[in-house]
Chains A and B, each alone.
Chain A
Amino acid sequence: MTAVFALPPHVPPPGTAALRSEIRSFIAANLPAGDAVSRANSWSVADAGFSRALGAAGWLGMVWPRAWGGHERPAMDRYVVLEELLAAGAPVGAHWIADRQTGPLLLRYGTDAQRQKYLPGMARGEVYACIGLSEPGAGSDLAAVRSRAEKVPGGWRINGQKLWTSGAHRAHAMLALLRSEAGSERGAGLSQFLIDLDTPGITIRPVINLTGEHDFNELFFDDVMVGDDALVGGQGNGWAQVTAELALERSGPERYLSSHALLVTLIDAARASGSENAALRATIGKLVAELWTLRQMSMATAAKLAGGEDPVVEAAIVKDLGNDFEQRLPLAVQAVLDLDLDGSTELVRVLSHLLQVSPSFSLRGGTREILRGIIARGLGLR
């Protein structure tokens, strides 16, 4: 019998119910009134006020040391808070990257000076980060990164271009993967730099997405000068560090809960209109079964990560199944309800939105094919 996911179910510890009601009270008191479309876009919607309120209440940097503004809570407490925020469709986009991956990466690889500079602000919900991986010539093939950092006295000179950078126009800093060794190839000679986005020589231009929204960007470095203190972790160690960062990026509950609002809205609409029927019940029942299973898989994976292990294959499995689930969700709604897609009701607006954006779910954060390649490697096939 072959097992690539031999994880025990995670059993939330005593006190979880109390924690859950605490964060729910916070959400009830602070969630901005918004259309369900915004709730169906949860971790892409930035609301600095909401992020600051979260920070003030101690819900950001939850697992980080107190010395850096954190709260030293167990990692699985943070998981509970994340899933509640996502299930409620809270606008967590502003701080999401900093809290999820940039902060933890600084804790793992950064210097005390870097931690002091960024972490307290991130934990307050005031300092935001973006992910500088993709470039015009480096998408799935991330090792093809060409943007470069050249060693000069007292620091580094940076030139090149990043692309598809979500939230760069709102972020204070970018964690960028750059070629720090001239002439190096592939994964060798890459380093990570944390670059303040107000540094002279940086140009950020919007890339408008297919729905007309400004979410991602292109970013140019023209002779950007940064100090030695911008280098994060080991010089030339960027590839290994990015791999660790991607596990953080792929293992969270956002990979199956990002469009939960559609399910919520569907149920409310069906109850209000009395359009319940056997097909609708069966469809919802199957979706519930998938959602429940995904949650179990996601929790088990997060618990492995919390235990200090690196669940690369498990995270890829959860993300791929989660993406697939979320891409079928709007189609399942179309299959059971005949709706005029005229934007006139909340359900129709959420559905219309997800019909357009759901193809991106299996692109962002690593494509379906790349994830399946990782799983195949776990099976020993490559």
Chain B
Amino acid sequence: MSELRAQVVATAQALFAAAPDWPAIVAAGFPLLLVPESAGGFGGDWGDAFAVLQVAGAEALAQPLAEAMLAAHLIARAGVVAPHGLVTIGSGGGTIRAGKFTGHVAAVPWGRVAAQVVATIETNAAEPVLLLLPAGAVTEGASPAGEPRDRLDYRGVPAVRLGDADHALYGAFLRVGQSAGALGAALGLATAHVNARVQFGKPLAKLQAVQQSLAVLAEEVAAVQMAGAAAAAALDRSGGAYEMMAAKLRTNMAIHRGVALAHQVHGAIGFTQDYPLHRLTRRLMGWRSDFGGDSWAEMLGEQALSERGAGLWADMVRRGDG
């Protein structure tokens, strides 16, 4: 880990553990992590973002950091001057006439408090467009973890075009980062719990069935951490679409298997409001659907089927060889 990254991670750890409000996170500069220094940002790379979001995931940070980070990156990438206030991210549909947008954006994280929204919008055209939109008319909703997921409606508002509508891919990658942290933290809680909880006269940790369950959970944590780190490395080399899709898919599998195991070894205590496991697992379960869930599989599969079988391997290794 570079010295800079180690520093950023240490700052994140100290801040996120204290359940900071949004202004504190802004003051520490985290939303601008992926904005180049030339555009007034922090100039971090994808590896830095992955590392910071792992901390956010592990601390169950209840703030739209990943969304704001990505929105700021996409705005800077398009060469547009960053707006003030929280910019979050979403997808929707509608029409654009003379630069004015009429339509909606669905399930926007923290939409109710956003000053602006970066949104991928389906129109009648073949390709969706990426727009920067102002605040809209809010219909409140909630994610499984109880975080704001709001619908925003628009009628003839000014919209700024931002370029390629590929935000879902990057969003998927950022969820991998959060998931790697959260699943790792769930493993940490589970390990501590089975060491402390006594049944049959000994700690649960001494029961082989429990040990084997935690070994599998550890394997899934390892898979997500590796997939995320490798996707970040691919992004930092250039490209990375294939790797982001693969990492999100693998993460979804790991959440499926891992969350169940984390809860299983906890017994009933893990099912309570007081015990902190749900802060990790409810988010994890919801993240599986965010920014393209298993739907990425069809795209990766289609890519594989577009070439002869031997091409699958050649294509996979070519990306890393440089």
Name A's B-contacting residues (CB within 8 A). 1-9, 11-12, 14, 16-17, 20, 83, 87-88, 260, 263-268, 270-271, 276, 278, 280-286, 288-293, 295-297, 300, 314, 317, 320-321, 369, 371-373, 375-376, 378-382
Contact = CB atoms under 8 A, between A and B. Distances in A.
A12 to B, nearest CB: 5
B308 A381 contact: no
Contacts of B58: 1
Interface of B: 54-55, 58, 181, 184-185, 187-188, 191, 194-195, 205-206, 208, 210-212, 214-216, 218-219, 221-223, 225-227, 229-230, 233, 242-243, 245-247, 249-250, 253, 294, 296-302, 304-305, 307-310, 312-313, 316-318, 320-322
A373 B226 contact: no
Q: Can you list the 6 inter-chain pairs with the closest CB atoms, starting with the nearest?
A: A285-B297, A5-B222, A264-B309, A285-B301, A281-B301, A285-B300
Contacts of A1: 54-55, 58, 181, 184-185, 188
A290 B309 CA distance: 16
A16 B321 contact: yes
Contact of B305 (A9, A267, A290, A314): A267
A88 B191 CA distance: 41
Contacts of B227: 289, 292-293, 296
A293 B226 contact: yes
Which of A16, A268, A289 is most buried by chain B, counting CB atoms within 10 A of its CB?
A: A289
Contact of B250 (A268, A282, A293, A300): A293
A245 to B, nearest CB: 22
A215 B285 CA distance: 45
Contacts, number: 195
Contact of B215 (A20, A278, A300, A375): A375
A288 B294 contact: no
A379 B233 contact: no
Contacts of B245: 285, 289
A75 to B, nearest CB: 17
Contacts of B309: 263-268, 271
Contact of B301 (A4, A7, A265, A288): A288
Given A288-B312, A296-B227, A317-B218, A2 B212 contact: no
Given A286-B294, A296-B227, A16 B322 contact: yes
Given A284-B305, A320-B219, A375-B218, 9 more contacts: A8-B229, A264-B313, A267-B307, A285-B300, A289-B300, A290-B250, A293-B246, A314-B222, A382-B205
B273 to A, nearest CB: 23
Given A289-B249, A297-B226, A264 B310 contact: yes
B297 A12 contact: no
A271 B308 contact: yes
Nearest to A321: B219
13 contacts: A1-B55, A2-B191, A3-B221, A9-B229, A16-B322, A87-B313, A290-B249, A293-B226, A293-B250, A296-B229, A379-B218, A381-B195, A381-B210
A317 B317 contact: no
A296 B226 contact: yes
A334 B195 CA distance: 41
Nearest to A14: B322
A143 B61 CA distance: 48
B247 A293 contact: yes
A376 B318 contact: no
Contacts of A8: 229
B191 A285 contact: no
Contacts of A291: 316
B206 A382 contact: yes
B188 A283 contact: no
Given A264-B310, A292-B316, A17 B321 contact: yes
A11 B233 contact: yes
Contacts of A321: 219, 222-223
B243 A297 contact: no
Contact of A300 (B54, B226, B312): B226
A148 to B, nearest CB: 31
B181 A288 contact: no
B204 to A, nearest CB: 9
A286 B218 contact: no
Contacts of B305: 267, 270-271, 276, 280-281, 284
